[in-house]
Amino acid sequence: MWKRGKFFAIVGTLQVAFVILFAVLGDYDEQGDAVKSSHRREHGEHEEYELPKLYPMFADVHVMIFVGFGFLMTFLRRYGYSSIGLNLLVAAFTCQWHTIVFGMISSKTFGYFTVGIESLLTADFACAAVLISMGAVLGKTSPLQLIVMILFEIVIFVANEYVTVTLLQIADIGGSVVVHSFGAYFGLAVARMIFKKDVLKSSKEGSVYHSDLFSMIGTIFLWIFWPSFNSALAEEDGQSRAVINTYYAIAASTVAVFAVSSLLNKKSSFDMVAVQNATLAGGVAVGTTANMVIYPYGAVIIGIVAGSLSTVGYQFLTPFLNEKAGFHDTCGVNNLHGMPGLLAGIAGAVVAALATPEKYGDSLYKLYPAMASSNSTLGNTSEVNIEVGRTPIEQGGYQMAAVCVTLAFAIVGGCVTGLILRLPIWDEPKGGELFDDEPNWSVSEETNALIDANDQNEAVLTIDYKKKEITNAV
């Protein structure tokens, strides 16, 4: 198949299509509309703008998407350009496509939609889901395959979010279910569909000392800003709880990772892979209940369980999935996002089932709108969707139903998308092209020589280390 100019033609056409869709269907929301703002000022109307409140949170989440996720994936020694560069491309493409798809689906005016600061936040959350999926197929897909994956994944992502959040009316403020679990299992399904045994034979899937250090940069950025991710869309007292609960959950998961990692290693050594990833599991696992009344000790318990579960997953489950089951998971997204996301879903169901007005006051019906009824005493009924009047047990059941629905959307959608990605037109990498920057980047001969020299040094050090181990054993 022709290759030169293909990426330009396809991506360029899609970007032009985005321009047309934004021009025909998109506009600023009321707070960004110059005419409406002038009219309000002329009539002396005061309006509290969302930008000063939401922009700091948006900036934090933006750093997570473009710096945190990008550097987290730089552990592959020959795939650094692609890890950071394609992360930038994927996120930039996704934020536009999600705004269009979400705007059209949620629109009440025949596809026309408006955008504001909250639109930017929700677009970044969608980017997180796609980048999680990208982690499962990292090094095994071409840039064109990633673009095609985005086109399908975002449509399925928005559909799942509409069913779970709008129709089932679940609470998932940090997106543990609809973002993390969805992204992980969508990516794993795609990885299974495009799996070839060449992946297991590749000698390039591995890290070196400096690539692991770069990856830790991503970990630290994600670790620091995760409270913003879980609390950005929370309101009032719920936002304060979301920050506090995430803070303690991610701290507890970090301590658990170091403890469990040393326990599982024969020499009581720490595992860098677990430290890079599993330390973040607490932030994922507490996401669904972040703005709920789970108390600091509850957040710590969730963090400990998530960090331990994720570490065990990297030690035992990832090798099994990669080598035995054909679910080759490059970044181990099942351990960091998949299983902790499911844990969050279960915790969310339990917390919902135990929720009472005595514990929450009137904020209960803002956190769980479907639990409100016509005779509920509410602080501000204009902000509450009074509809169903569910009991706490019923709400807990809906929370679990949303987990099952999300898994169905992710797995089925990922399988279909993976089959489409197998078409030869998308230039899937094979053999020596796997986990290597060179097929898609201009890499100098000096850089290649340096990488080869590092690989040889690593091989020598490994042989020497194994000899010492044998000598000591004798």
Q: Compute the average pLDDT of residues 29-39.
A: 72
- 51, pLDDT greater than 70: yes
Helices 143-161 and 80-106 pack at an angle, to 10 degrees, of 40
Q: How much is the pTM?
A: 0.91
CATH class of 6-373+385-433: mainly alpha
Over residues 155-191, the pLDDT tens digits come to 999 999 999 999 999 999 999 999 999 999 999 999 9
- Of 196 and 220, which is predicted with more confidence? 220
CA 177 to chain centre: 10
Residues of 193-231 as b/e, b for ≥16 C-beta within 10 angstroms? bbbeeebeebebbebbeebbebbbbbbebbbebbbbbbb
Over residues 370-395, the pLDDT tens digits come to 988 754 555 444 444 445 688 999 99
Residue 393 to residue 287: CA distance in whole angstroms: 20
Q: What is the pLDDT of residue 384?
A: 43
Q: What is the pLDDT of residue 189?
A: 97
Over residues 217-265, the pLDDT tens digits come to 999 999 999 999 999 999 889 999 999 999 999 999 999 999 999 999 8
φ/ψ of residue 28, rounded to 5: -70, 155
- 401, pLDDT greater than 70: yes
Whose CA is closest to 171, among 361, 408, 399?
399
- Of 444 and 426, which is predicted with more confidence? 426
Q: Compute the average pLDDT of residues 16-29.
A: 94
Residue 330 to residue 319: CA distance in whole angstroms: 10
**What residue segments make up the domains of the chain, in order of their start?**
6-373+385-433
Whose CA is closest to 208, among 435, 440, 444?
435
Q: How many Å from the N-terminal Cα to the C-terminal Cα in the chain? A: 57
Q: How confident is the model at residue 444 (pLDDT cuts 50, 70, 90)?
A: confident
- 413, pLDDT greater than 80: yes
CB atoms within 10 A of CB 272: 16
- Please tell me what DSSP assigns to residue 212: H
- 274, pLDDT greater than 90: yes
What average pLDDT does the structure give for the chain?
Answer: 89
DSSP state string for 285-320? HTTTTTTSS-HHHHHHHHHHHHHHHHHHIIIIIHHH
